[in-house]
Structure 1
Amino acid sequence: MRQLAIQSRSQDPASQSRHDDVTGLATRRHAEHQLASLLASAAEQGTKVAVLHVDIDRLKEINHSLGRSVGDACLRLVAQRIVDVIDLKGSASRLDSDEIMAVLPDVTTLEGVLPIVERLLERTRQPIDLSGRTLFASCCIGLALYPDHGSTVTELMRHANLARRRAQARGSMQYWAFSPELLDDGPDRIALRCELRDAFARGEMELRYRPVLCARSGQVVAVSAQPRWCSPRFGVLETAQWLPAARDNDQLHEICPWVLASACRHARSWYEAGSGLRVVVGVPSEGLMDNVLVECVRFALEESGLPAGLLEIELTEGGLMQDPEHVCALLERLKATGVGLSIDGFGKGHSSLGHLSLFPIDTLKLDALFIDDCLDNPRRQAIIRSVIGMAHELGVRVAASGVGSRQLADFLREQGCDLLQGSLWSRMEYSDSSSE
């Protein structure tokens, strides 16, 4: 096994300029020179070169909540795992704060690279023990192949990055291979970041309210508040399309309190009108590592006058599993305020199954990908039945997102699912562009 030579590396300036101080991996500039040489050799020999763009999930969140030293230690361990997987087959370099490039020369086909990609996903998702804490990291990977997907260093790195963006859009622990249609895959992330910085000042953010129905009665029992960006340049963008740019801008600590306060004020108007609808507000994984979340919830409730029981905080499964002990204590504090708690995206990424009985949650929401095509897949149907039965044994409601057909709604109802949400009821959605 190769070791990252951070301590034993030569101290001469030339060596230092070729290696990253934190990970010991090659720097971006040095890696580009190495890749150029590999491409020249591959052109002469008629071989292929695979370029993998690896993005480490949630590293920024760890840096923000636990400190840069813990984040750097986590990065070193993940980098070492990547080096272990590619072994002597290739090389790795650090591109950015949470991005690593792996290069595999002398490959024959795209299919031949995929087993290595899958091992990278599996190895990087293993728990990390640091200073008495158990942290969970993972990665998304974009893949480009020379000469199939580009003939220059710039093209291959850009195309691997585009594929990585598509993988990230699908969730954590995903990979994607470049294809030409990705060249038109939405707005550039740099342009998004620039425009998003002043979106609030320009009044371009709004909340979209989506109904949550009782599976048995068909009545709307809650409304989920989803922030959207109505950009004059890019059009109407759903949360998943601009959230990575917001993370890059460090704007989530501005956006999340706004969503929470606006949704509570809106729900207060329903309450005054005699409605008992709950409002569901999603909190990204960064919020779970932030000690001000409980105070933000309390302030939003006090400022709006909304009864706590009519607010539900929705948390991602991946966020819960970053630091389960810390999160469990945070959830207990949230629960003490009287709000409801739910897990979103169950079955999509890191499994919280072993901790489910410890978290004081009220609702478990099956991810849309988890139930997709389940009507034609008996194995998925069996898993859905098992999860619903387990949740009910724990006194937890089960919701399903991504319900797009009456047939799927009927199936989930028959299995005992409690709540339903999805495009089948899109005609009932509405926007509140006046949120202040």
Structure 2
Amino acid sequence: MMHTIDLRDLPSSQADLARVIPRAITDVNAASAVAAQLISDVRERGEEALVEQAERLDGVRPERIRIHADEVSLAVRSLDPLVRDALEVAIARVRQATQAQVPASTVTELAPGAHVIQRWQPVNRVGLYVPGGKAVYPSSVVMNVIPAQVAGVSSVAIASPPQREFGGSVHPTILAAAGILGIDEVYAMGGAGAIGALAYGVPSLGLDPVEIITGPGNVYVAAAKRLVRGVVGIDSEAGPTEILVIADATADAYLVATDLISQAEHDELAAVVLVTDSPELADAVSREVERLVASTNHSARVRIAVDGVQSALVLVSDMVAAAAFSNAYGPEHLEIQTAEPGAVLDMIESAGAIFLGAHSPVSLGDYLAGSNHVLPTGGQSRFASGLGAYTFLRPQQVINYDRSALQRVSSQIVALSEAEDLPAHGAAVSARFENRA
């Protein structure tokens, strides 16, 4: 049964709230030594190491790590038409929403002949990780690939763990999603070794190093991403999924419970949290969760998640306190099911994605809302955003001054360079106005 945290008499300072926030205990640092060894092994032995890691960690020896393009094409042709239709709708919606994330270039004229151009340049090549543990995630292919394509990335590689059920190949639904999106560079490799292969390349596979790695994974994937950061860019260190629901007495307890269960089925460490000012709603949701756990497909997994220390029913005095708790928590997914969701939204500062009202469940965002479902977890939404086209873009400033514009500021440049005891800086400007005839 979900435990209750009563905050109705607790001051809502950040420090007070930080002490009572329920969290799963996942120590990325504890996985770092293992992840570092797996990465090192791939750097030293390349393809051979990846095959051995697959056999040891995934329980299957892949016939080949790099998937042949013909296999990707076959997966597309063999895909269930209903699944293909759903993927194509998701692709269209995510692409349309993501296009709004690409800023236009701008030119700022500071004076006649003095211009600064702000432009956004995509990276050239990215590696996208698609997990393959307790579930199959073609939707994650969509959510990773489309922002890269919209940003203008020219080269995309996908890594996903080899599957015993499919002879060590990548799951065919993952391959089909990649193929529909026009991606045929796919590798049957998982875990920390795959992250190392993407970061450093594997020449025998024709796998060139990438510049950014994105996508969720287990704690070893998160540790590996932390280890290669600086060699490549990363999106975030994704952890177990989270849902926090802010609800008042007007909310439907059954719908709130179904939303909590929908995220609990991901993983035993999934965090499901209800924050409410209504003890009656909390009791009703608790009863509904207990009823639904018994009948859901992954009941054993869900039971562990909802009973875990990371899941809770949180009682607060009012919606101001509810928003304060949510901001301190920084949830991956935030649902607002209240009489006036817009008023609560105005108080929200930190969340990966926000779902307003009873008809905007997290499941909508997981698949067909048009938003991206690769989101910061573990409180990272307090300082980071979800995946988007901007993840693959680098802002660059282009400075363009003509002679007159430079001359107008030359004396100030010289003055500042002398104040900093860097006279050659000023001399580089003055030299352009010397009479060298």
Q: TM-score range by the shorter chain?
A: under 0.3
Q: Please, what TM-score do these two structures have when normalized by structure 2? A: 0.24
Please tell me whether Structure 1 or Structure 2 has the larger radius of gyration of its CA atoms.
2
From the two aligned structures, give the one with the greater strand fraction. 1
TM-score w.r.t. the length of structure 1 is: 0.24
Bigger relative contact order, structure 1 or 2, given CA contacts below 8 A and separation 6+? 2
